Amino acid sequence: MSKLRVHCFSISLDGYGAGTKQGLENPLGAGGEDLHQWILPTRTFQQLQGKQGGATGIDDDFVARGFAGIGAWILGRNMFGPIRGPWPDDAWKGWWGEAPPYHCHVFVLTNHPRASISMKGGTEFHFVTAGIRVALEQATKAAGGQDIRLGGGVSTIRQYLQAGLVDEMHLAIAPVLLGSGEHLLLDVDLPALGYACTEHAPTASATHVVFTRRASR
């Protein structure tokens, strides 16, 4: 059975997954980029940028695990782009240029219909207006027996967590404080939802924790 997995989602020491004042020039909000410094030097990330080299070790292992066995993705609209409300046109096609790093079907949650987009490298964006469960059903079918990766942002992950639909969640806790922004686990009772910490590993740049849901969905 396909699993819904969260990987490499970075949060601050005080629990924020994004800062305030998000926008086109600052997609992760004030201080948000500091959450992801651990991932940038890794070999896997460098390869995604078309470069060679990069650091190996625990941080890189977690990045690589996030791509293994993934057949489809689910994204919130905020992760796809900064546009709010009805789509003004079809010009915006994501943050990643003409060749996004997904190379599979990606289902974007939105309240406003939009036709699917085919991109270079095999990425296809589909826009789902019927809610999180329908998006998961469509992603599961598209994944063809592989797992589905839930990319975020904060609001999207919270919805899937509270619905008990996330099977595994890897968080990277960065050694920074944001003070405000979008809090990932505020009022989310992970033990009551069936989650337990099944793995933890500190590095110089982050503390990695993995939560697994014991009960099946």
Mean pLDDT on 174-193 = 96
Phi-psi region of 69 (alpha: psi -120 to 50; beta: other; left: phi over 0): left
| CA 130 vs CA 112, 133, 134: distances in Å | 10, 8, 6
Alpha-carbon span 70 to 172, nearest angstrom: 19
Cα 36 from Cα 129, distance rounded (Å): 30
Residue 166 lies in a domain: yes
Residue 51 lies in a domain: no
User: What pLDDT is attached to residue 10?
Assistant: 97
Q: What is the per-residue pLDDT for 201?
A: 98
When pLDDT is averaged across residues 93-100 and rounded to a whole number, the result is: 92
Residue 129 lies in a domain: yes
Cα gap 56→69, rounded to integer Å = 20
* Structural domain contains residue 103: yes
pLDDT at residue number 1: 87
How far apart, in whole angstroms, are the C-alpha atoms of residue 13 and residue 172?
Answer: 10
The answer, yes or no, to whether residue 2 has pLDDT greater than 90, is yes
78 within some domain? yes
- Whole-angstrom Cα distance, residue 11 to residue 97? 25
Average pLDDT on 167-196 reads 96
pLDDT in tens, 42-67: 999 999 888 999 999 999 999 999 99
On the question of pLDDT at 197 being above 90, the answer is yes
pLDDT tens digits, one per residue of 109-159: 999 999 999 999 999 999 999 999 999 999 999 999 999 999 989 999 999
Average pLDDT of every residue of the chain: 94
pLDDT at 110: 97
- Is residue 125, in this structure, part of any structural domain at all? yes
Domain count, the chain: 1
pLDDT at site 182: 94
Task: Indicate whether 168 belongs to any domain.
Answer: yes
Percent of the chain's residues with pLDDT above 70: 99
For position 180, which CATH number holds? 3.40.430.10
Confidence of residue 72 (pLDDT cuts 50, 70, 90): very high
Q: Residue 216: its pLDDT value, please?
A: 53
Q: Is residue 62 part of a domain?
A: no
In terms of residue numbers, what domain contains 102?
Answer: 4-16+70-213
